[in-house]
Amino acid sequence: MTHPFEVSQQELFAFEELLKKHGLNIKSNSDLERISISIIEVNEKFKGKIIHDDKQDIRMQLSEVAGLTEFIRKILKNQTSADFNQLIPHLQLLNESKSVSQTTKSKITDEGNNKLFELYVALLCMEIGDNLRLDDPKSSKGDNPDILFNLNGITWAIACKALHTKSELTLFDRIEDGVEQINRSSANKGIVVVNFKNIIDYDLIWPITNEEEFKKGEDPLFGSFTKLEIPSAILESYWVDYQKKLAEPKELTNLRNFSASGKCPNGFLIFLHAVTSVHHKGNTPATIMKTFNLVQFDEIDSEYKILGDQLNLAMHNKIRKIA
């Protein structure tokens, strides 16, 4: 039986070949190269060909490996799509972004990582709809929605935003920017998707249980949850908290103004993505968690709920296109 890390390495090599087919490669000294090497290294450690350093905090490395592996799988899955060429400018950013991972934090100045989030969402849209159009990441002026595509006879616009602070005011600003972009577009309907990856406390989701001793030089002891529902609840508490914070009368008034055009709902999607460890058949493997959560303030059209459900199904490889 081929183990998961071996599969990840094979997929990495297939991804390299796909890049070459489109005149691209994995550049030296890029973050993409660094994490690609990590995929190979983790595989070699699993097979016992490289000795593991017991004092190493492996959480960051495995989180990055899991995040890039998932990205690669989505790219490979959609390589035969009629709209795949729309993704090429964003694929170039895999070499240029200071941080490739969507499962770890990135700096507010790393615009390339924000654009890679657009690529990730576009890959999901490609699975649920057609006629994908992706705003060019380098010539974009920020006045167009990032993604346009067709689903069920509706032209959808998606504006992807990244949050780097827990401030509700900053969240309002990001949503307002996205709504304005959608309203200027030719889309019939649209929604803002906010990436929460930079405000997540990843140490809570995958802790070291002897943190103080580890700082003094002892080997790290990595926490592992008995069931997935526990870290999932920690991750989803982020959108639950914002649902409560934004339910105040003043905030509701501002948010309802965003939907005045009729294109956007009284709500938005939150994207949550993290790696944890969960007991499974006597082992404690790294486990990726991912979800889109719809935060809504009033009743909204069913189309928005269907879109959120379809994005989640695509992300978990359970998509079945609606006729």
Distance, in Å, from the CA atom of 184 to the CA atom of 173, rounded to the nearest integer, reads 17
Rounded Cα–Cα distance for residues 273 and 264 (Å): 24
Q: Which of 137, 90, 71 is nearest to 273 (CA)?
A: 71
Residue 98: CB atoms within 10 A of its CB come to 13
- What pLDDT sits at residue 2? 54
Which phi and psi angles does 262 have, rounded to 5°? Answer: 90, -10
How confident is the model at residue 249, as a pLDDT? 63
The tens-digit pLDDT sequence of the chain (323 residues) is 456 789 999 999 999 999 999 999 999 999 999 999 999 999 998 888 888 788 899 999 999 999 999 999 999 999 999 999 999 999 999 998 999 989 999 988 888 888 999 999 999 999 999 999 998 887 665 557 899 999 989 999 999 999 999 888 888 889 999 999 999 999 999 999 999 999 999 999 999 999 999 999 999 999 999 999 999 999 999 988 888 877 766 667 777 777 777 899 988 999 999 999 999 888 888 999 999 999 887 788 899 999 999 999 999 999 765 44
Residue 288 to residue 6: CA distance in whole angstroms: 17
Question: Which pLDDT belongs to residue 284?
Answer: 87
Task: Output the pLDDT for position 323.
Answer: 43
For residue 73, the model assigns a pLDDT of 95
**pLDDT (0 to 100) of residue 91:** 93
* pLDDT at residue number 1: 43
pLDDT for the residue 196: 95
* Cβ neighbours for 137, distance < 8 A, ≥ 6 positions apart: 89, 90, 93, 112, 115, 118
Strands (E), 48-181: 130-134, 147-151, 154-162
Q: What's the predicted TM-score (pTM) here?
A: 0.92
Q: d(Cα 8, Cα 4) in Å, to the nearest integer?
A: 6
User: Which runs of E-coded beta strand occur in the chain?
Assistant: 130-134, 147-151, 154-162, 189-195, 267-277, 286-296
